Amino acid sequence: MNYRHAYHAGNFADVVKHTVLCRVLVNLREKPAAFRVIDTHAGAGRYDLAGPEAGKTQEWRDGIERLVRAKLADPIRALLAPYLDAVAARNPDGRLTAYPGSPALALSLLRRQDRLIACELEPRAAAALKGEIASNPRAKAIAIDGWTALQAYVPPTERRGVVLIDPPFEQPGEFDRLAEGLTAAHRKWPTGIYLLWYPVKDQAEVAAFARRLARLRIAKMLRVELTLANAGADTGLRGSGLIAVNPPWTLHDELKTLLPVLAEVMSRGPTGAVTLEWLARESAS
């Protein structure tokens, strides 16, 4: 599967992924010590929803547009506020014309002492990313392969933070690379938070991936998935998932509240299916 950020910016998968990322960052902000965000496959940093890529698929209309227009209960809106406020800041006239990628969302929640490393190898996206964040002293854009970056920048000097691993799934074997990359990075930085994104296209493949991760003897891993009944007719993307390694202790309960609402808001027809389960929860022995 080829999952190019520009074509899918703001779709249901982005909404879930970026909601989780923002909740993790909110939690990290609760302690005064600095933290670092490492975005291994960062993309361009910002996407034009009227541009040729996003305009061709229009997937954002069933994702971020539905969420922005939804009538949400106050507790739900409060949990989503860090994410929705960052999106609104990129659309000051109230019209959805731009979508912030994960580097821009991360920057919206960084404090003065926090730092971002955003990595992207594809030349056009890397140039756009550099232009997007170059003026911010807390951020650095690096043109580097994401898998190389994962090993090069872990552990960070801050010793606190989150690594977002969001590959485009252009090549076969990406599930294997995710598992292998996590294993090597976790060995170097076992206390770091890792968010591993993956598409849900083949349920058997996803289930095998989850079983493999569960055998890694990593103490805390939370599986988060949203599959929409009528999604992916054209792209083959039925759903998307995240594996959260060392998630903040509040994340499970927050997502238990949020995921059913997101599934309902972004579904066309029957409400989508939600998976929220611990692959590992006890201390490794």
- Residues tagged active-site: 166
Give the chain's end-to-end CA distance (angstroms, integer): 36
Query: Using the 8-state DSSP alphabet, how is residue 283 labeled?
Result: P
In the chain, helix, strand, coil percent, each to 5? 45, 20, 40
| Structural tokens at position 16 | 């879930």
* Residue 162 near residue 195, CB atoms below 8 Å: yes
208 vs 25, 65, 192, 202, 205, CA distance in Å? 29, 33, 24, 10, 5
| Structural tokens at position 108 | 């919206």
Give the angle subtended at the CA of 216 by the CAs of 214 and 220, to the nearest 5°. 65
Give the angle subtended at the CA of 146 by the CAs of 5 and 53, to the nearest 5°. 15
